[in-house]
Structure 1
Amino acid sequence: MLSLSELFFSKILLLKRFVSNVQIIEGVSEKERLENLGILKDFGEIMLDKRYITPAQYEQVRLIQRHTLLTCKSCGLKYHLDELAAEDHFQCEVCQAIIISLSELASLDLEPLLHDQSNSSNLIESEFFKLESSHSASVDTTSPSAVAHKHSTLRFSSLDESLSLLGSKIANYQLLEKIGEGGSCVVFKAETPQKEIVAMKLLKNTGEQEENIVRRLVQEAKLTKKLRHPNIVQLFDSGSEQGYYFLVMEYIQGETLREKILREIQLNPSEAVDILEQVLYGLEVAHKAKIIHRDIKPDNIMITQDGVAKLADFGLARGMNIDAHITKTGLIVGTPYYMSPEQAQGHSLDHRCDIYSLGATFFYMLTGKVPFQGTTPIEIILKHISKDVESPKKYNPHIPDEICYIVFKMMAKDPANRYQSTQEVLKDIHRIRLCLQLPYQKTFTCICGEPYTYVPQYPSSIRQCRKCSYQFWLPPPHSQSRVTYFYPDWKEIVLAKIAINHGWFSPQEAAQFLILLIEAKNYGIEKEAEDIFGELGLGRDRVFRLQQELKNIIHEEESTALFGQIALQKGYITLSQLRSALRHQQQNPLYIGEILVQQGTLASSHRADVLSYQNKLVASPLDIELRKNLLQEKNISRSLVQTCFREVVERSSKESNLNLARLLLERNAISRHQINRQLYEIFQQILLSNAFSF
């Protein structure tokens, strides 16, 4: 049987005269045949496979589907037509009203939806629903990567007004493409003077009272500029110009948590716990900065293409212990379906209101249902205040009791009975993971951009990309709870160079070896260089020869070009002491640094300092090359790259293992696979140069 969205797809195919009735019937028969075999396949893909439609026609109909909105008249919630995976009938997730049935959709004339988007007649309406094109609808389809609070009285006067802004500049941001629209705002993909891509949300004021509201929100948004974490959508700028109030945020490609759940109905407990954990890490940073979010909900959590959860929409955030109302407007800030009892009653708030809202969101992840349902916002709010939340097991019996406990404690009515901090929730999550041995899915992206979904496990294993044949580690559990990035030391680069000189590795294979070595360090995988050589197919005899040649080079280079010269330059040893150690080395196969320490002429701390300086001789050129390459990338902040590079230069004399890659990851400016791709190219250049010829 076709789902509602597939039925809609088939009707548009017929209206567009892309297919005949006979071809539709054959496509439905093929779908039923596959389902009987246990194979689930989208109807549109079946029509593509049978070559009844072209890829261009498929995309054209999908675009119409994505731009068609179904509105529940009972509660006003809106759905995209491509979200309706239900069969027989579709029930509103909030008020539980049956909006539309399969038979009703089958009988509808969808011709009005194909009218020109400037035509106001592209609306289909019944007692329970409205169907309309999102091009003409005054509805919020804003990406949460640039969302602020919605005020229905603040709006653009017409669609043409927002479109007329394309190509123009506001506050030095060039508006490139419209990516979202709401009754109060329009969101654009924009470009900074440094050619960085950002998301810019514009709100237009229409009166003095609304102007004061939005000015206050923009002012509050400035609080969040200092929040930098991989699990937070970063706010870059805010202000007003040319009659528009604007927020400039990180541009993210992905989907909201709500969109993900609508597509998947409900998440398995392991994946839900994983997303909760990531959001908690981001929220922890905000709470430490004494900022509360006040509007945590599935629409304000973004899931990137790499599977990273990011908390968005800090436009409503304020400092701790504030009033839940916005001064004299009488407007309660927050979303009724996820609002804490104290927030609903207008009491003073602290960080525990966020824990409640995140608990309600966690409930939605596990069940696909909101915790409390009602026909009006007031009814829902009253239930948050007075009614106990039902067990998630009612909707998903496979949820472990330990996870239900976390939901109940996060959503306790009295803030004193909740978790008192994000750290307390994280502690219980980690304990439950160990007890239940929960598998959970992660997404890893190869340097070519190909995504992989996997269940982290020990020991980690090396996989080969199905697209580009590149080899990579699948990160083990909890490998990215903190941001790290280690460069290889000079000896490891020398090993790779020796392997090339012998013809055992190509420059590409040697560069791949170095990336695998880096990621083993970053992920805490206990693998040495010889282990990784073995993983890449290099025999034991060749690995032994590599190690012997490296020792010969180290003895020569450490004493003359590297260790000895650095130790002399720093004044740690004299020339006569170095010569004495060199004579001793002829009878003892030790590193020159070890000999100097044994002879008592060099302190262990000084030896560590010299070795650290040696590593910086490698790190500095890598940072210079990485900076040069990243400045050529369009989707990476040039100004942030320059700022981080200057910071590395200033701090490197005081901090070990500090490099440009690590700072950019900490600033949430780049992903690991992007850095790995850049270093993969840089390593090839270095290994082919004379910089490491022995």
Structure 2
Amino acid sequence: MDADDTEETDEGVSRPDNIPKRSISLPEVGQQIQSPNGNVYTFTDRIGEGHFSLVYGCTDLWKNRLAAKIFKPLGRNFEDVEKSVIEERNKLLFLRHPNITYIFDAFVYNDTFYVITERCGSTLHDLFKIQNFDGKVWIYAVARCLLQGLEYIHQNGYAHQDLHFGNVMYSFVQDELISEKSAMTFKIADFGISKLITDVSPENTRAQWLLPPEALNSSEFGPLDQRIDIYHVGLILLQLAYSAEIQFTREQILDGAPRHLAQDLEPPFSFALEKALRRHVHFRTASAQELWRDINSETTGLPLLDRAT
């Protein structure tokens, strides 16, 4: 697409002047697409698919390994999809942090919206494919990266609302001089349903199996705010501690089953995770920094409050 055939919208996402149709066109392997900023993306493979989007692998002129998120219409008109793309693009531009996936580009081509980000290795789901996987070995590394990124998100007024194994990526940082050498880190991805903390409400779209207690009964368990993310991180670390992927039913969530499992762990995880998984929001861990301190605490055997559930 020639850059002369595009215009800038008020929000800064480039799109064609005249759009006669409104159906997406998926890229083929080997296809090259030029964005309005002059970069050319060569598509290599299809990585995966979520409810709102498809993800393809691609490379750019600099030979960076990238991922292209392509938004599905889902019955929405062109303008509504465009609004979703702009919102996610703006969140990623605003929330730039080493432990958050990095955005490179955003544009529309053939009525199809693309958001180009760095390509990570895969999600935390893949860790469980390791033979004789011991999740406790990974807890500190995952927690340190995840909680740093989450603290930054909260400090800037947002709640992610959708933290789970599928949205935490591991990434290898490439050594520019020794191509065979790299180091692993972990990053938060997918800000599709993240909201300003002031806008978090029970009506926000969330996976049913990921609902925290306050989303099920806010009158009993407290308000919905950034502590939703603390609960979700607690679930991630709990599953790593048990070296198993665990999903809880609505009834188990309301009964506090995740917290009860956490209490059976060894210190400091028993104290740190039962606190992060408390049903009542005002008794729950207040921040990502606090959870990190609890994970690194040498304190053991602290009495648990009867009401702190």
- The normalised TM-score by structure 1 is 0.34
Corresponding residue for residue 299 of structure 1: 166
Code of the aligned partner of 2:297: R
Q: 1:210 to 1:334 in 2, by over 3 A?
A: farther
* Aligned residues with identical type, % of pairs: 20
Distance 2:125 2:49 in 1: 17
Residue of structure 1 in register with 2:75 after alignment: 207
Instruction: Give the conservation status (yes or no) of the 8 Å contact 1:258–1:298.
Output: yes
Alignment correspondent of 1:678 = none
Deviations 1:59-100 (A, max 9, x none): xxxxxxxxxxxxxxxxxxxxxxxxxxxxxxxxxxxxxxxxxx
Opposite residue 430 of structure 1, the aligned amino acid is: N
Task: Quote the residue 2:227 is aligned against.
Answer: 352
Residue number in structure 1 paired with 2:134 = 267
What is the Cα deviation at residue 357 of structure 1?
0.3
Query: Shift in Å at residue 242 of structure 1?
Result: 2.4
Structure 2 unpaired stretches of 5+: 1-22, 173-182, 301-309
Pick one of 419, 422, 427 that aligns with 2:285: 419
One of 340, 348, 351 as aligned partner of 2:212? 340
CA deviations 1:612-657 (Å, max 9, x no partner) are: xxxxxxxxxxxxxxxxxxxxxxxxxxxxxxxxxxxxxxxxxxxxxx
Q: Which structure would you say has the larger RCO, counting Cα contacts within 8 Å and 6 or more residues apart? A: 2
Distance 1:272 1:197 in 2: 27
Confirm or deny: 8 A CA contact 1:237 1:248 kept in the other structure.
yes
Is 1:233 aligned with 2:101? yes
Shift of 1:237: 3.4
Q: Which residue of 1 aligns with 2:257?
A: 388
Code of the residue aligned with 1:167 in structure 2: it is Q
Contact 1:156/1:162, CA 8 A, preserved across alignment: no
- C-alpha deviations, 1:460-516, integer Å up to 9, x for none? xxxxxxxxxxxxxxxxxxxxxxxxxxxxxxxxxxxxxxxxxxxxxxxxxxxxxxxxx
- Deviation, 1:406, is 1.2
What is the identity, as a one-letter code, of the residue corresponding to 2:210?
A: Y
Q: Answer yes or no: is the 8 Å Cα contact 2:98–2:187 preserved in 1.
A: yes
The 8 Å contact of residues 70 and 114 in structure 2, kept in 1 or not, is answered as: yes
CA–CA separation in structure 1 for the residues paired with 2:132 and 2:209: 18
Q: Which has the larger radius of gyration?
A: 1
Q: Structure 1: how far apart are the matches of 2:96 and 2:65? A: 18
Instruction: Find the residue that maps to 1:309 and give its secondary structure.
Output: strand
Q: CA deviation at 1:358?
A: 0.4
Q: Distance in 1 between matches of 2:202 and 2:89?
A: 17
Q: Tell me if structure 2 keeps the 8 A contact 1:220–1:315.
A: yes
Aligned pair partner of 2:145 in 258, 270, 278: 278
Q: Within 5 Å, which residues of 2 pair with 1:569-584?
A: none
How far is 1:366 from its partner? 1.1
Q: Taking structure 1 as reference, are residues 261 and 180 closer, same or farther at Cα in structure 2, changes over 3 Å only?
A: same
RMSD: 3.4
Distance in 2 (CA, whole Å) between partners of 1:421 and 1:206 is: 35
- AA aligned opposite 1:256: T
Q: 3-state DSSP class of the match of 2:184? A: coil
Q: CA deviation at 1:382?
A: 4.1
Distance in 2 between residues matched to 1:412 and 1:232, nearest whole Å: 26
Partner of 2:307: none
Give the whole-Å Cα distance in 2 for the aligned partners of 1:217 and 1:227. 15
Give the alignment partner of residue 200 of structure 2, picking from 290, 305, 323.
323
> Superposition pairs for residues 634-645 of structure 1, below 5 Å?
none
For residues 424 and 382 of structure 1, the distance between their equivalents in structure 2, rounded to whole angstroms, comes to 28
Structure richer in helix, relative to its length: 1
Instruction: Look up the SS of the partner of 1:400 in the other structure.
Output: coil
What's the CA shift for 1:220? 3.8
Give the corresponding residue for 1:188: 56
Q: Report the secondary structure of 2:257's partner residue.
A: coil
The correspondence for 1:310, drawn from 165, 170, 187, is: 187
After TM superposition, give the deviation of residue 196 of structure 1 in Å.
4.4
Question: SS at 2:297's partner residue?
Answer: helix
2:297 pairs with 1:431: yes
- Name the residue aligned to 2:273: 407
> CA, structure 1 residues 251+371, in 2 after alignment: closer, same or farther (shift >3 Å)?
closer
Return 308-317 or 410-419, whichever deviates more: 308-317
Displacement of 1:372 after TM fit? 4.2
Offset of 1:297 from its aligned partner?
A: 0.5
Deviation at 1:381, TM superposition (A): 3.3
Can you list the C-alpha shifts for 1:408-458, whole angstroms capped at 9, x where unaligned?
1111111111111111112222223x98xxxxxxxxxxxxxxxxxxxxxxx
Deviations 1:544-603 (A, max 9, x none): xxxxxxxxxxxxxxxxxxxxxxxxxxxxxxxxxxxxxxxxxxxxxxxxxxxxxxxxxxxx
CA contact (8 A) 1:235 1:250 kept: yes
CA distance in 2, matches of 1:363, 1:314: 23
Provide the secondary structure at the position in 2 that maps to 1:190. Answer: strand
- In the TM superposition, what are the counterparts of 1:232-631 in structure 2 within 5 Å? 232-252=100-120, 254-264=121-131, 266-305=133-172, 306-324=183-201, 332-344=204-216, 349-373=224-248, 380-389=249-258, 390-392=260-262, 399-432=265-298
Structure 1 distance, partners of 2:143, 2:234, is 9
Alpha-carbon distance change, 369 to 175 in structure 1, aligned in 2, over 3 angstroms: same
Q: How far does residue 170 in structure 1 lie from its aligned partner after superposition? A: 4.8
Q: Of 3, 25, 28, which aligns to 1:163? A: 28
Query: TM-score normalised to the size of structure 2?
Result: 0.71
What is the aligned residue count? 263
Deviations 1:207-255 (A, max 9, x none): 3358625633541441231323322212233354421122221122x23
Secondary structure at the residue paired with 2:130? helix
The one of 174, 178, 181 equivalent to 2:41 is 174
* CA distances 1:641-683 after superposition (whole Å, capped 9, x unpaired): xxxxxxxxxxxxxxxxxxxxxxxxxxxxxxxxxxxxxxxxxxx
Question: By how many angstroms is 1:193 displaced?
Answer: 5.5
Aligned partners of 2:29 and 2:59: how far apart in 1?
A: 17
Pair 1:219 & 2:87 matched: yes
Q: Shift of residue 271 of structure 1? A: 2.5
Task: State the AA in 2 paired with 1:307.
Answer: M
2:67–2:117 contact (8 Å) kept in structure 1: yes
Shift in alpha-carbon separation, 1:393–1:259, aligned structure 2, 3 A: farther
Alpha-carbon deviation of 1:260? 0.4
Aligned to 1:315, the other structure's residue is in SS state coil
Match of 1:467 in 2: none
**CA positional deviation for 1:388:** 3.3
Residues 639-658 of structure 1 correspond to what in structure 2 (within 5 A)?
none
* Contact 2:159 2:200 (C-alpha < 8 Å) held by counterparts: no
